[in-house]
Amino acid sequence: MDIPIHSRLKDLGAQQAVVFARVMELKEGRTRNDQPYLALTLGDLSETLSARIWADSPAFGSARTLQRGDVVKILGLRSNYQGRDQLEIHRIRPVEERDKDLWTPEMVQGPGYDKVQDLFTEVLVFDIETVPVTIDIREMPQTIVKGITEVAQRKEWDIEKVLALNPLFSRVASIAVGSGEDASKDCVLIAPPQEELDRGLPDLPPWVRPMSEKEMLGAFWTLASQAGTIVSFNGRNFDLPFLRTRSSILEQPVFVDLLSQPPYQHSPHLDLYLILTGGGRGTAPMNLDAACYAYGIESPKGAMDGSMVGHAYREKRFGEIAKYNLADVIATRALYQRQRATILDYLE
């Protein structure tokens, strides 16, 4: 009898089948009888499932050689343990050349894989820049205009800043990413207006990759799903909720949960702002610029600041936005490296 081959974990049922997935986590433990077992988390674009492989399983030996991030071919089925679905693995091995027609990187590793696969890193540092979709609020419903105006007056902000900080009224202009270990993977994903993409952007440096906002968001979640740790500065309060909401609006699946963890848990999302403030808001100023000053790190704030990004975007100065965005990632990486030696290595 032919064994069915499923393209998604979500399609796997109670009958034995072949499925392809990515190893998201793998740990070895021991039973009460001191027998080894493997605890795995496997996922694709459709679902994440946990699995355990016991020492007497035929799959134990091959599974023991796997590493986080490996794409694997699995013979197994879906079962239920204490009310939760899990993956029962009968055979498992890394994918091989002969499997290439049975799976696609986009389904297993995420959309935009081909655009960012060279940027995969164990520690991903990121930062975003946002711009209003429009700064003319006169055509909006009056109830919304009233709310925007009240926020602007209360905080003494201009209307553009209020719009730019709200994912319902603005868009992600760029996402700067880099490795927490070195600068070799520094890159800025940038989303100009579609007409500029269609026209082409030949003057951008090679470390800037233009794409649509939806493509950029998919590429970010793909990068985040591959990393063991995602580092931000104030990403819990701003960047990640903004990215998640924009993704939902654009119907881009968010297949990595980086917000449900408690504030005091620093994996997989490590927010350096929460480290500095002890989980609270702190006393002003407690921003990246102030942290860099205290640690003796070069400030990312130069000729441009966040309030100027919208204007630069409208003037099509995308290279300047990318440079400004990347400066925040470079500073965040330096802060991460300093804190790793003095704080982070001692946290649970």
Helices 213-226 and 240-249, packing angle to 10 deg:
130
Question: Residue 135: its pLDDT value, please?
Answer: 87
Has residue 305 got a pLDDT over 80? no
At 301, the pLDDT band (50, 70, 90 cuts) reads confident
Query: Domains of the chain (ranges plus CATH)?
Result: 5-105 (2.40.50.140), 113-133+169-346 (3.30.420.10)
How much is the pLDDT for 1? 54
> What pLDDT score was predicted for residue 85?
93
For 174-200, b where at least 16 C-beta lie within 10 A, e where not — what string? bbbbbbbeeeebbbbbbbbeeeeeeee
The tens digit of pLDDT for each residue in 31-75 reads 999 999 999 999 998 899 999 999 999 999 999 999 988 999 999
Contact 264, 279 (CB under 8 A): yes
Q: Which residues contact 216 (CB under 8 A, 6 or more apart)?
A: 112, 172, 174, 175, 189, 190, 191
Is the overall model pTM greater than 0.85, yes or no? yes
The DSSP secondary structure of 122-178, one letter per residue, reads: SEEEEEEEEEES-S--TTS-HHHHHHHHHHHHHHT--HHHHHHT-TTTEEEEEEEEE
pLDDT at 283: 60
pLDDT, position 285: 67
Looking up tokens 């899990």, which residue turns up?
Answer: 86
- How far is 81 from 31, CA to CA, in rounded Å? 17
Q: Is the pLDDT of residue 304 over 80?
A: no
